[in-house]
Amino acid sequence: MASTLGIASSALLSFQRSLATTGHNIANVNTEGYTRQSVDYSTQTPQQFGAGYLGSGVKVDAIQRIYDDFLERQLRSSVTARDSSEMYYNFAVQVDDLLADQGSSLGPQLENFFSAIQDVVNDPTSIPARQLMLTEAGSLVESFQYIDNELNSLDQRINVELENQVNEINGLLSGIADLNRHIALASGSGTGPAPNDLLDKRDQLLLDLSSRIGYSTVTQDDGSINIFLGNGQAAVVGQTAATLSVEQNAFDPQQFDVGFTLSAGSTSVITDQISGGTLGEIIDFRNEVLNPARDELGRIAVSVAETFNAQHDLDLDLNGNLGSSLADFFTVTDPQTEVYSDLDASSTAAVTVAFDSSNIDKLTGDEYRLAFDGSNWTLTNLSDNSTVTGSGSTPTFNDSNLGEGLTITLSGSPVTGDEFLLRPTRSGSTDLAVGINDPSQVAAASPVRIQEAVGSSGIPTNSGTGELSFGTVTASASLPLSSSITLTYDATAKEFSYGSGPTTFSYDPATDAGNTFTVSGIQFTISGNPADGDQFVIENNSSGVGDSRNMLALAKLQTGLTMNNGTASYQDVYGQLIADVGVKTRRAETLYTTQSNLADSAQIRHDEVSGVNLDEEAANLLRFQQAYQAASQVIVVSEQIFQTLLNATGR
């Protein structure tokens, strides 16, 4: 009798547990990270009697989480990939829109500027046309600055976002360390039953962490999980969590780094070691899209200004003044503000960086690091890590040894380990300005003209068919000419002579027609058959207000291959920039789509095992209810048998 009651009550207790667990499952159907639980039973130790073993009921072995460690890890890694590509995409698409949108893009502004230049070519004496050109130049400058400003404010948002992410990660790390402690305690350092709900909580924190930063885990015997970041920085060890912090960059205080501190130890910068997660992607976005976009934009600004100025300097304005004697058309500032130093306290090293106007087509948008090893300075281009060594403590890097459109000069006494970081074109857009505001100072005319000699009444005196082109001025010309230069042809010697020397150069109409000649820095071509004694005069273009030859040369800069070592125009480089950012944005978008699908299917596979199904729980509820009722019936029956016995004997 006693054993029947015992069996029945063991069943009642067990089914109560099952009903409670089913209830718990139903209650947590919407709890994020909840893993369904089930009760494991086994038979109680049977009692032996003569004929054999008699069963003695049921007992609860464990309440288990239905959990697959492999699926949980897969879910974490796919969530990392999904959330990081989403973060990258959300930032990159803003840059992409900014660069290519018809309203904000540089493209239409460049077109308008060069259209205005062509209108001055057509009508060089028109003040309104010149004024329009200056206005369009101003709009172009504003356009550069607008785009750069927007990019700069993205940079600041990145710094804010970095702080947010670091704070969240710190919360998660300390939460995980805390749960490690609770779990170790609750499970008797891994010897007792598993504290299911605490494990769920920790898994949820790990999942949240994986969306923010890439990490790896190692499970300890006591049930705690250790977390390692990047190159093995221990972010959580047992019950101790490290803290991440936002640190100012050693070179550029405006740019934030991620610092890592393990329990009151020293702080190290781990920015470059972070990969994946929203934190990693913010840093990647800054390095791959944002900074290069600003550098490229600045490079275009510097190239436009330098090439434009070089031509404009050779021109005459409406008042007959030489462009080089006026303010530069565009103001270009040497990139001294983008020099960052990390020097020993005793060091007196200094560096000056200047754009090399005559080799500006070789300018890159790259960043450079200068490092002193005790005897020499080494310049490293950070885009491809190529190096140039300048011997001694005060070398110069220029076109002959560097060849990238810069002149970098070091001075002072450096100390081993001294470093400079250079971003020559970073501020190119913000530093750009229009240097002249008087439309008559727009220089359209060439400073010299070449023509046939004329008699006293202006009638040309030459009798041959020889012709000289109008001539272009090179930088070596000394202008204005101190006096006119008259070239006289000697048909016998087949040569021109000029000056008091006289200086001669040969011109044979049969072989030299169409060739280019240079006299005192002025280039021209000669064609045709000059007669003996024919004269040509090179003179200052005084009153030549109707001349727009140099404006024509400026107009041609629009399509001129003035960038990328003479292989690309401004628009080409800007188009490349858009395509480059577009490709990166597209890649992030595609990655996000793929990774969302992967994360979804990882979630589905995970939930297939661990998720609560209400219909299943309903069925279980019926099952355990029926079993509970049956066990109750066993007690009733055993009670009735006992009553029968009492009734029989009590008489």
Partner 1 sequence: MRISTSQIFLQGLRAIQEQQVKLGTVSNQLAQGSKILTPADDPAAAAAIIGLNEDISRSEQYQRNAQYASSRLGLQETAMDSAIDIMQRIRELAILGVNGTQTTDTRADIALEGRQLLDEMIALANTSDANGEFIFGGFQSQTEPMSHDGAGNFTYSGDQGQRMVLLSQNRQVAISDSGSDVFLQAPSGSSNSAFTVMWQFISDLESNSPNPDILGDVDAVMTEFNSVRSEIGGRQRAIDLQNNLNESTRIRAEQTRSTLQDLDFAEASTQLNQYLTALQAAQQSFAQIQNLSLFNVIR
Task: State which of positions 565-604 bind partner 1 (CB under 8 A).
Answer: 571-572, 574-576, 578-579, 581-583, 585-586, 589, 600, 603-604
Instruction: Give the span between the Cα atoms of 634 and 10, in whole angstroms.
Output: 11
Amino acid at residue number 593: T
Looking at beta carbons only, is 373 or 600 nearer to partner 1?
600
Among 27, 54, 614, 641, binds partner 1 (CB under 8 A): 614
Residue 108 interacting with partner 1 (CB under 8 A) = yes
Structure tokens, 462: 């030459």
- DSSP bridge partners of 498: 503
CB contact burial 442-479 (16+ within 10 A = b; e otherwise): bbbbbbbbbbbbeeeeeeeebebebbbeebbbeeebeb
Stretch that binds partner 1, among 154-162, 188-196, 398-406, 610-618 (CB under 8 A): 610-618
- Give residues with Cβ within 8 angstroms of 384, minimum separation 6: 366
Residue 62 interacting with partner 1 (CB under 8 A) = no
Looking at beta carbons only, is 176 or 468 nearer to partner 1?
468
Looking at beta carbons only, is 126 or 516 nearer to partner 1?
126
Residue 54 interacting with partner 1 (CB under 8 A) = no
Residue 440 interacting with partner 1 (CB under 8 A) = no
Residue 72 interacting with partner 1 (CB under 8 A) = no
Residue 272 interacting with partner 1 (CB under 8 A) = no
Instruction: Give the span between the Cα atoms of 287 and 272, in whole angstroms.
Output: 10
The torsion angles phi and psi of 481, rounded to 5 degrees, stand at: -65, 135
The CA radius of gyration of the chain, in Å to the nearest whole number, is: 41
Give yes or no for a cis peptide into 128 (omega within 30° of 0).
no
* CB 558 to partner 1: min, Å: 7
Closest CA to 422 of 410, 435, 436, 439: 410
Among 68, 399, 452, 512, binds partner 1 (CB under 8 A): 452
Looking at beta carbons only, is 428 or 544 nearer to partner 1?
544
Q: How many CA atoms lie within 13 A of 360 on its CB side?
A: 24
Looking at beta carbons only, is 36 or 286 nearer to partner 1?
36
* CB 143 to partner 1: min, Å: 14
Amino acid at residue number 30: N
Tokens 């006591």 belong to residue: 222
Looking at beta carbons only, is 239 or 429 nearer to partner 1?
429
- DSSP bridge partners of 380: 369, 387
Residue 445 interacting with partner 1 (CB under 8 A) = yes
* CB 636 to partner 1: min, Å: 24
Residue 546 interacting with partner 1 (CB under 8 A) = yes
* CB 296 to partner 1: min, Å: 13
Stretch that binds partner 1, among 43-51, 124-132, 251-259, 373-381 (CB under 8 A): 124-132
Structure tokens, 516: 């280019």
Residue 288 interacting with partner 1 (CB under 8 A) = no
* CB 581 to partner 1: min, Å: 8
Closest CA to 297 of 563, 560, 156, 106: 106
Looking at beta carbons only, is 159 or 469 nearer to partner 1?
469
Tokens 């200086």 belong to residue: 503
Looking at beta carbons only, is 476 or 543 nearer to partner 1?
543
First-to-last CA distance in the chain? 21
| Alpha helices in 101-250, H assignment, sequence order | 106-122, 127-186, 196-212
* CB 287 to partner 1: min, Å: 19
* CB 47 to partner 1: min, Å: 38
Residue 121 interacting with partner 1 (CB under 8 A) = yes
Binding residue count for partner 1, defined by CB under 8 A: 76
Tokens 């005192």 belong to residue: 520
Instruction: Give the span between the Cα atoms of 599 and 593, in whole angstroms.
Output: 10
* CB 598 to partner 1: min, Å: 14
- Give residues with Cβ within 8 angstroms of 526, minimum separation 6: 466, 467, 468, 469, 507, 512, 513, 514, 515, 517
Among 29, 630, 636, 646, binds partner 1 (CB under 8 A): 29
Among 39, 79, 81, 99, binds partner 1 (CB under 8 A): 99
- DSSP bridge partners of 240: 237
* CB 603 to partner 1: min, Å: 8
Among 39, 87, 100, 236, binds partner 1 (CB under 8 A): 100
| Binding to partner 1, residues 419-438 (CB under 8 A) | none
Among 264, 459, 510, 648, binds partner 1 (CB under 8 A): 459
Among 309, 398, 535, 610, binds partner 1 (CB under 8 A): 610
Instruction: Give the span between the Cα atoms of 57 and 542, in whole angstroms.
Output: 120
Q: How many CA atoms lie within 13 A of 215 on its CB side?
A: 26
